[in-house]
Every structure is written in structure tokens, then in C-alpha cells.
A and B are shown apart, each in its own frame.
Chain A
């Protein structure tokens, strides 16, 4: 590990939450405008986190904040692994640790609202995880390795080979950003639910930690979209912006549906188009070693 790598790590550790915070701020601002409101200042998510850390540490279960630490640490690790172009399949597994930590953290409180939210989030895993791994599989079939760093050897950007997986990934973004219509586990909108699902019993520093984790997670998720055109930074960023705008617009034009509907959509339409895309890649581009 040379000094350049260390610089990169520091940059990610400091830069990602700032970027994530801005993303969250833009989200709130845009959503407010779409709803005909002025909206909070751009830095409102930052003010929220600062305030949360000044609040009392109210808990219902002694270990509940331990899961928050696991969540944040492993989100950061998956982001770092993405930045360093490591094994995509491994990144997905590491990212699963963080998702599981948040679910178990919600359930550990024992609150019925939190348990309902967590059960729904488990169903969300069932909906999006196969698509994420199919994305990794596509990278292997195209480059002969699961390492993201090998994407630079491709002659065309990833999007040209796997457009259908890109479409599925847009919906995965929607699920993972926990935005309407897929915000059953915990919602950002007060009008969607009275009680904050999976995160019901989190408040003060615990909730602040989760918010920081979300900032990193936003950057990580949009980073996955960036990878579709990683050879050109501008177009890559544009894809990330498109994905982000898609999520916000979907959030504002749809209402929450049943979680069963999410499962049906993902296991029928999204999974089938992704598998079709994999088969196309397999027959036209895959060269067995």
C-alpha cells in the first residue's frame, strides 16, 4: 500500500459523507420543489446529524447501537473496496453484512414496529440481491474476472453490453435508497407512515450514526451506477445523476405499494430481463478460458 492509496482512503473517508450529505440535501430540496414547497436548506441533513449527536442516547436494548457501528463500518468498507476496484462478488457480500446489521439492529430492539420494518427489509434483500450478483456475473462473463479494476480492459463501456441489467439496477437503487414505492421498511416521508419502521427505536446518536452510514451508502450505490461507464468519468457521473433523478422522480410520483408487489416485480420482470441479458452476454461475448 503506497502513499497514494492512503490518500485515496482518506479522501473517501472524508469526501464520501460530504458528497452523500449533499446528495441527501439535493434530494430534500428537489422533492420539496416537486411538492410545491420551498424546502429546507441544502445542508439540512448535516444540521440534522449534528443535532442528533447532541441529543440524549435513548435506547431500549443495550446492544442496539453496536449494530449501527457494524452497519457504518461495513458500508465504508464496501465503498472503499469499490474505489479500489476489488472483487465485485466480495463487495456485494460485504455490503450484505451492513444490510444485515441494520435489519438485526431493528429487530434487536424488540419493538413490533421495528420488527415489521425489518421483516420487510429482509424481503427487500430477496428482491435486490440476485440482481446485484447477476451484475457481478455479467462483469465476469465480459472480462474473465470479478475484479472491477478489469473493467478498463473492455473496449466499450459496460452499459453497451448490459443495458437490461442497468434498468434493473435503477429499480435496485429505488429499493436501496428506501424510496417510494419501495419504502416499506422505513420511510423518509412523514405522510407514508406514522412510525419509522425498522428504525423506530433509534434516536439521538444512534440515528445520527445511521444517517452518516446512509451518506456513505448513497455514494456507494451511485458508484455502482457509475461503473456502467467507468471509462469516461463525465458520462459515468452523468449515469449516476440519471439514476439519482430517477429515484427522486419515482419517489414523488408513486405511492407505497405492498411489499408482495415489490417481490413480484423483481422476481418476474427485473430478474427475467437481467437473466436474459446474462444469456445474451454469455452467447455473444463470453470466451471460456
Chain B
């Protein structure tokens, strides 16, 4: 992942300086067969152009990193670096445009002949295997021979020489003119070749380039060429096709027998995993796994990004871990201290504590709806937090890891407060980006000290803040750096750190660590216990990660068994990538410096970003989906979980799209997964009176068992490595295999046949319903409710759940012959296009206009076609619009802060939009110039 250093081409010593002055110039090198083409074309056309011979490894074309010759510098300063394009150009300048036939030959030469020639020349010139040359060239030679003899014209495209003749002649020249190569009798080819070769232009070009040395003249050129690839090139696959679906894996005999053997083993006799017993504590003989997800900040309603980035990913993994029989503890909570809370409190006219109480409840209920199965969901504003944070502080202080320094801080006299980093904006001192934040520049990514910003502005009132000094404490990161590096080396090499987590951490270390301020001039925070810093609180970066410990301490008084027990406990941190440095550098330094045998992170799992449709997520414009709105969509929590996990930004950014969500629901859940499970259950019910039939495995069934077992193994390998999105694909592959199996075997027809056919229908049905049972187990981490529903419908024995995910995965027959299943019903519902369109509109948001530019409802004359008219809702909304309108007018009359007014106007617009929808009108402002699209 090392960043490639790209030297500016213009600094490169090799680069040949070209003074074009509007003159053309052709650059060629001796012994380069491609230069034959260009020189021959130049002479044949008589175009005025300077020629310069250069060495093979001189870079003439400024934008190409590998030396490429010939190259033609055009009067405009552009370069042509393809010999065929150069020939084509020279002919066109001379008034001979390429015909379609000429086009075709040129394309054939580049795509078919050249790869074969390169291989042939490589063998003949460098490997001395002249005898094999004819084999390689036979195909292209035959094509040319046939075409020439069929057309019966002197030249390739007709009666006169074209660019194609020179290009193909030059291609064949080295091999056809060398008497040591025997290429067989090709009458038409020979006649054409001799005709072209007799031209003065060709003779002169050949002399210049090869100087009569034949193949040996090309040796130094050939030595510099990369060895030709054999014909296996990377086939450009249509990337929207799922490669896993395409190729059928070849299954070996052994695999089939192994799968059949496992199948026959049946369920574990050991009792299924018992219910969780709180408090969960590390156990001697178990794998003890502590899972945290980044603490969501309390003043915001979490949105889809938060949910997939942290809590949902961590939930899937801890559910999976429990199935694997690991001893898991999953903790999380709201991060409640800091300026943003103070600010929100001011906005809503509440105390910070009231804000935290209010939003903590909001978070809790959202996560509950998403079925996030925390063992404990706490908060940071507790006594334990103060106790533990102050303890860590004193330990750092005693060990001399804190430095005192005076800090210049920005204070807005107008707002009467010190400005937190995010409340100041200005010009980046590094890259001059005009909208850099006080802590970091969004453009160049560098960290910024707020006072270094040029032309700083208070984000709330746009006044220029003043610099005030204040005494603060710093964590001495440089002093801890070598310890940190040692620990990181070990943790990243033995644990599962995502690539981005490693990369971000490395880049922090590469830049060198600097002391980091851990105190702030605020009220709402954990108080600094030191007498000299009485009025100050801990900065959230220092304080918030300690929340993991204090939240666990609120869960159990024996919290230290988790957090001061690195030998027994493995710690997994889940987060979005913007949080990485604080979990990989800053917090570990606090804990290392405190020297109290803390459990440090072993596995750091960071997601990339999730985009929303094509537009930027915006709170003020109401664009995007927030956690509390997801349930109002009427789409089940399990389907939300499925889709978010399906597009989990794992390894790269991804996008949430309504249309795609509907598509995945309808194609993967409904038609693939749901369809298979439902069919399997329905066959048992309809054809076998609800009892699983006797199964006698044949080759084909064993092959399916082997395919399914392989997918199961992949799933387990990926889940162990927290590749959650990738693992999900293997679940869907299993049901795809299952559907094919049913489709091919047609049990609904066989059941009407004779005894042996009925027996076959029984086996196919029995195997299918057992696969459905396996799927319910594999689905459990992703879709817990659906998973339970399937097992209820199949009346599956509870022990199936801990049997199948043992070891590398064991697909056993858990519903044996005679097992009675329950009532079967469909699992998923179709998402209709109009439903999705309405949701897209609802959450799509509108531009925020200045209130003066807000289109009056009457302007929205176009009537939407898909909107449902809802008079009751319209009534309520009319009321709400009136109230909100009053509020905005009042704020304006009071000359309230612009940010506040803007936010309220946004709410008003959103209400108006909803009202328009409820009235069946199109909420879009009438387009000014015709319709889009």
C-alpha cells in the first residue's frame, strides 16, 4: 500500500526536450520494428517532418512511464505514440483517408498479428527457437493469405497502397525477410509482400532501422521489451455479472464422499448453547472475545452509515461468534460529552443532561428496532467514566507522560465562547483550501491547529474570532511512540486489521507523532482532577474511548477481567475509518502509558464510506435515511439489515440506492433465498404430509452436498476474518444451488410417477429441506428474525444451530426422515416499483432555497402520478406547516443566528414537501425549462 512516488515527468532526466515550434517531429530508434512503419509511411507520403533517432529507453512522450517509440510530436504539441495511428495520420495529411477495410486491417494488426509477432520474435531473436516461429505465426499468415487470394487486388485495400499495406508489411518484414525462418508456401502473401517491399519508401526505412542486420539488428530492442504474455490475457469481464454465479466449481470424488459422510453424522448430542447468563465474564477454557462498536455521538440521530459502519457490523460478528461457541461480550453506548451537546442543548432550550437523556433513548430504540443485540448499551456520562478516566489520567501524570503547555485558542467574542475545532472554518495553511475545518482539512487531509487557519471565521456567526491563550495538558505521544510501534507491529501482524486501518495508522506514524492536547475549556465533560486545571474537562478524544471501559464497568463490577486481561481476552473494535487513528494510536498510547496491563485492540475493523444514492447525504436538506425513519418505511428490519450488509462498504466505498434495495430484495431474497426455502418446505407439506421423507443419496445429491459444504466453508473462513459482505454472497450461492437442484429434478413431476420416481422426489425434497435448515443457521447473524421464522416453520431441533458452524463447517442432516415440520409460509414480500419511488422521493430531499425563493404550493401544478392522496395526513401536515412557518418568521424577526434559521427553513420545506405528497401533488418545484430526461 506504499504510496507510489510519481516523479513529475518534466523532471525526468531521460525526457527528450522537444522544441516543436509548430513543426512535426518523428522520434525513432534503431532496431525497433514499429519504427519501420512510421519511417516507411513518412517516406511514402512525403509529409514534411523532422526525424530524430534516440535510444530505446528514452522517454519521448511525457505522459507515458515506459519508453514508447516511435512517437510523433504534432504541431499542436500533442503526441502520437501508436505506430498505426502515426501511419494513419501521415496518410490522411497526404489526402488519403483510411477506408473501413483499412481500419479493419489496422485493428487486426494491432490485436491479432502483433501479439503473435512479439511472441515469435522473442523466440527467434532471444531464445534461438526459430523452428517454433512458424507455429505461432501460422494463424495470422493463413488469414492474410486467404484474404489476399480471395480479393485478388495488388494491395490489401485495393489498387493502391494504403496505410494498412505499410503497417502489415513492416510487421512481417523481420520474419519474412529472414531466410532462416521457414514459414511455408503462401503465394498470394509472397506476391503482395514483395510488391510492397519493392517500394523505395520501404527499402529506405528497412535500411535505416535494421541496417541490413536482419533479425539480429533487433536484439537490443527485443531485450528491453517485457516478455510477451502467452495468450491468457485478463479477459475483461462484464463487472456486473457475479463471477461466483457463472463458473460451476468442479467437485472431486473425495469431496463428495467427505460431504456425504459428514451429512450422515447427524446432530451433536451435546446440549445447545445455553441462554446468555449475565454478567458474561472471561472463562478459562474458552475463546474470550470482547467486541466494541464505536460509540455513536449522542446529539445526532444515527443514520444508515453509522448503523452499518459500527453497530450492525459488530452485531453480526458477535452473533456469529456466539454460534461458533466463543464467549462473547458486545458493549456499546452513547458518547455524550462535548461542545456539540452543549450546543444542541442551547438550540433546544434544554440542559446538556436532558439532551443526553433524550437522545440516548432515541439511539436505544433505533438499535432495538434494528435488532442490535448488545450485551450492554451504556453511556459515557456516568460516575464510572469519571472514576476510570481520572485514574488513567493520574497514572499518566505520575509516569510523566503529560506535558503542560499554553495554547492559543480561538474565541468568538460575539458568541462569548471558545470555539471548538468544528465551529471554526478558514483557509487551510497547507493547501489553501478555503473551507478547512479547525481540526482537519477535507481537501489535503492534513491535521490543522485551529489557530493556524488563515482568515478564521466562527461558523455560527461568521465573525472573526480572537486568539486567547489558556494552559492545557498534552499527552506526550512522541515519548510513547516506540512502545506503540512495538505493540502495533505485533497486533497488526497477528490480528485481523482491515487494510484501511493499517494504512491510516501507518500514515500517522510516518508523519511522526506530536503531543496531543487532552483538555478543553468547556463545562460539559469529565472534569480534570488536577488543581491547576480545575475549570477544564477532558477532550473527547481522550475521554470517549475510555467509555468502552466505563460502560463495561457499569455492566459488571468485574469489568477488569475483560479490560485488564490481555492474555485471556481478544478485543475487536468496529468503526468507520474516520475513527481509526484514535483507536490505533491515541487511545492505545493512553493505555500503554497508564501501565496497568490493559487489554489493547487485537482486531481493528474499519469500514469505508457509504454514499447515499448519487447525492451527498445532508441533514439540513433532509437527504438520506435516518435510523428512526427506517421503520416508517414499512420494510422489515431484517430486510434493512440484509441490504445494508449486502452493500457494506467493505474494502471500498459503496452506495445505498433505493432501486438497488428493491432489486436485491426481489431478486435475492424473494426469488432466490425465500423461493428456495419456501419450495423445500411446501414439498414436504404437500407431497409427504409434513414429514421429511426417506433420503437415499445418489451421485447428484452428493455433488450438491459437496457444493453446499464448500460454500459453508467459505462462509466460515470469511466470517472468521470479518468479511461480512463477502460471506453473505455464499449464503445466496447455496440457495442458488438449491434452486437449480430442484429445477433439474422436478420433484413435483416425479411424485406422480412410479415407486423409484417417488423415492427420488423424496430424496430431493429431504435434501432440500435440510439445506433450508442450514441456511437458517447461516442467516442468523444477518437476519435474526427470518432465521428464527425458518426454524419455527421447519420445527428444527435447537441443536442444529451449534452443530453446523463447528470447526470448518459441518453440514449434517438435521431433519431426518420422519421429522415433522410446522406450517410453511412465504418469508419475503416484493417491493413494488411505486412504493420504492415514493420512498426515494420522501427521503430524497429538496434543494434548500432562500425562503424568498420557496415556490408557493400553488406553483407545483404538475400532479404526481404515483403519490397516494392521504387527506388525514394532509390535514395534520397543513397544521404543521403553519406552525413551522410561524416559527421561522419569529426567528427572523428576532434576527436569530443564520444557521438556526436555515435549519428551521429546511424543516419547513420538508414539511411542505410531505404535504404536497400527501395531497397527491408533485413536490418538485415546477421545472423552468422543460422536463429533465
Task: Tell whether A pairs with B.
Answer: no
